[in-house]
Amino acid sequence: MSFLRLENVIQQYREQRTGLEFEALRVHELSVEAGEIVTVVGPNGSGKSTLLEILACLIRPSSGRVLFNDSDIWAHGKALWARRQCPMLLQKTVLFSTSVLKNVTFGLRVRGVARAEAVQRAEAALELVGMRRLAQRRNNELSGGERRRVALAQLLALESKVIVLDEPSASLDQESERLIENLIRTINRKRGTTVVMASHNFRQAVALSTRIVTLIDGKLILETLDNVLFGTMRRTATGFEFRESRGWVHVFHPAELAQDRWEGVGPVEGPVQVAIPSTGIALAAGTAGERPRLSGEIDSIRKNEGTCRVRVRLEAGPSLHAEIPMTAWGNFNLNLGNRVTLALAENAVRVLPVHRVTTGQP
What's the predicted TM-score (pTM) here? 0.74
**pLDDT tens for each residue of 273-307:** 888 888 899 888 655 456 778 999 999 888 877 88
SS3 231: strand
Strand partners, 302: 309
- Note whether 18 and 354 are within 8 A (CB): no
Task: For residue 338, give the amino acid letter.
Answer: N
SS3 165: strand
E-state strands within 15-137: 21-33, 37-41, 63-68, 71-72, 88-89
Strand partners, 196: 38, 164
What's the pLDDT at 357?
32
Tally of CB atoms within 10 A around 287: 12
- Note whether 227 and 276 are within 8 A (CB): yes
Map out the domains of the chain with their CATH numbers. 2-220 (3.40.50.300), 225-353 (2.40.50.100)
In the chain, DSSP finds a helix count (H) and a strand count (E) of: 8, 21
Measured distance CA(111)–CA(29) in Å, rounded: 32
Tally of CB atoms within 10 A around 72: 15
Task: For residue 105, give the amino acid letter.
Answer: T
**pLDDT tens for each residue of 216-244:** 888 887 777 788 888 999 988 888 999 99
Task: For residue 25, give the amino acid letter.
Answer: L
SS3 51: helix
pLDDT by 10-residue block (mean), the chain, 362 residues: 86 86 90 93 86 96 94 93 93 92 95 95 94 94 91 94 92 86 92 92 83 85 80 89 92 82 54 86 68 87 84 92 82 82 90 48 28
Measured distance CA(190)–CA(200) in Å, rounded: 26
What's the pLDDT at 359?
28
Q: Exposed, middle or buried by CB within 10 Å (0-12, 13-18, 19+), for 244? A: middle
Measured distance CA(259)–CA(275) in Å, rounded: 13
| Closest CA relative to residue 156, chosen from 201, 198, 186 | 186
What phi and psi, each to the nearest 5 degrees, are found at residue 108? -70, -40
Measured distance CA(10)–CA(219) in Å, rounded: 10
**pLDDT tens for each residue of 82-102:** 999 999 999 889 899 999 999
